[in-house]
Amino acid sequence: MFREAILGAAESPQLQRFVRRHGMRLGASRFVAGETLDEAVPVLRGLNQKGLYANTTLLGEGAGTESETRAVVRAYTAIFDRLAAERLRVNVALKLTHLGLAFDEELALANVRELVAHGSRRGSFVRIDMEESVHVDATLRVFRALRGEGHENVGTVLQSYLYRSPGDLESLLPLGPNLRFVKGAYLEPRSVAHPEKSRVDEAFRRLVERSLTAGGFSAIATHDEALIAHAIAFAAEGGIPRSRFQFQMLYGVRAGLQLDLVRRGYDVLVATPYGPDWYRYLMRRLAERPANVLFLARNLVRR
Ligand SMILES: Cc1cc2nc3c(=O)[nH]c(=O)nc-3n(C[C@H](O)[C@H](O)[C@H](O)COP(=O)(O)OP(=O)(O)OC[C@H]3O[C@@H](n4cnc5c(N)ncnc54)[C@H](O)[C@@H]3O)c2cc1C
């Protein structure tokens, strides 16, 4: 209910105007590493210095024209160059709607192909995020096309709230894929996604178990300590080496848990986005946790 209310309210133009104007000062910077790459680089370096891996994202989704998508490609090309020049252990996660998927799948494929090839030259990796359920088929088609062309430095995401994800996982396993597992962050109808949190959690557990058993690389992206503990125990019992999986969390969320896992010898990657277009990303983070809305509200009162 809370999640629906926040994600619904996020569409209000008045709220958008207010949050865009004041949000960074009110606390959006807890979740976003700045508005420019120059601001993000020291944050990314700081994470690496603590023993964490990171990925970065130029925030934005739903580009409307081909020329907008070409600007995004140029920006990511510069990001790869900068990450390599700075010798950071940081790769890239991007959204296909930022590259044109919502209006031209071929364009999105051409754009992401160019970026995956450039990332490979810079020794980097591209994670294709998963967006609303209407984009899942096209996203998986693009991922398969890239793998079919021989690109190995690319992975994508499966969302455990979707009924279809176990089937998608089975169909991807022959590729030995690099997959990130998440619960899912969008407002989806009951016809496509489990409405009950307990079922989403159970589905997450099963997807991770299946992926760990089957091969490929599993990025276990959650802050849920019970699911993390389960994955650790499951991998240990099955003799699955730590090199075959990684934990992933969001910048600004459960930083203590991230470091604790590193101390225990697990790889942890912190998803650390930046950019001026942070509004929708912030609203999804607020929708995940009532306390985050209070956090922003407290900063508003303190101003
Ligand atoms: C690295 C990474 C990449 C992601 N990529 C995608 C993607 O491509 N597509 C997609 O749909 N979703 C993505 N997500 C978001 C994901 O779907 C969930 O919405 C999000 O991770 C919250 O779910 P949870 O697994 O942490 O579990 P929850 O059950 O929501 O939370 C478990 C606990 O984690 C903490 N927590 C969770 N979220 C927050 C928060 N925002 N602020 C503070 N504490 C919090 C709380 O302590 C909470 O009790 C990604 C998440 C991560 C970590």
Residue whose C-alpha is closest to residue 130's, from 115, 120, 116, 141: 141
* Amino acid letter for position 101: L
| Residue having the nearest C-alpha atom to atom 17 of ligand 1 | 184
How remote is the CA of residue 180 from the centroid of ligand 1, in Å? 12
Residues shown for the chain: 303
- Distance between CA atoms of residues 266 and 243, nearest Å: 9
Catalytic site includes residue 205: no
Phi, psi at 134, each rounded to 5° = -65, -20
199 CB neighbour count, 10 Å cutoff: 14
Considering 122, 127, 147, 180, which one is annotated as catalytic?
Answer: 180
Considering 129, 147, 201, 285, which one is annotated as catalytic?
Answer: 129
> For residue 155, what are the contacts with CB-CB under 8 A and spacing of at least 6?
125, 126, 127, 128, 143, 177, 178, 179, 180, 217, 219
Do residues 160 and 182 touch, judged by C-beta distance below 8 A? yes
Looking at the CA of residue 197, tell me the nearest atom of ligand 1: 29
49 CB neighbour count, 10 Å cutoff: 8
Catalytic site includes residue 20: no
**Residue 248 confidence (pLDDT):** 98
231 CB neighbour count, 10 Å cutoff: 25
* Amino acid letter for position 248: Q
**Residue 23 confidence (pLDDT):** 76
**Residue 44 confidence (pLDDT):** 98
* Amino acid letter for position 17: R
**Residue 22 confidence (pLDDT):** 80
How remote is the CA of residue 284 from the centroid of ligand 1, in Å? 9
* Integer angstrom CA distances of residue 192 from 6, 61, 72, 188: 20, 22, 30, 7
Kindly report the pTM of this predicted structure.
0.95
- The dihedral over CA atoms of 222, 252, 293, 36, expressed in degrees to the nearest 10, equals -120
**Residue 43 confidence (pLDDT):** 98
For ligand 1, pick from 224, 249, 251, 280 the residue to mutate: most ligand atoms within 8 Å of CB: 224
Of all helices (H) and strands (E), which one includes residue 199? helix 197-214
- Distance between CA atoms of residues 136 and 108, nearest Å: 14
- The dihedral over CA atoms of 153, 209, 290, 283, expressed in degrees to the nearest 10, equals 20
**At 185, is the secondary structure helix, strand, or coil?**
coil
Residue whose C-alpha is closest to residue 94's, from 118, 134, 121, 127: 127
**Residue 295 confidence (pLDDT):** 76
> For residue 67, what are the contacts with CB-CB under 8 A and spacing of at least 6?
none
* Integer angstrom CA distances of residue 212 from 3, 74, 127, 169, 264: 30, 36, 18, 12, 19
Per-residue pLDDT of the chain (303 residues; tens, 9 = 90+): 778 888 887 788 888 887 878 877 777 888 999 999 999 999 999 999 999 999 999 998 777 899 999 999 999 999 999 999 999 999 999 999 999 999 999 999 999 999 999 999 999 999 999 999 999 999 999 999 999 999 999 999 999 999 999 999 999 999 999 999 999 999 999 999 999 999 999 999 999 999 999 989 999 999 999 999 999 999 999 999 999 999 999 999 999 999 999 999 999 999 999 998 888 888 888 888 878 888 777 776 665
Do residues 126 and 113 touch, judged by C-beta distance below 8 A? no
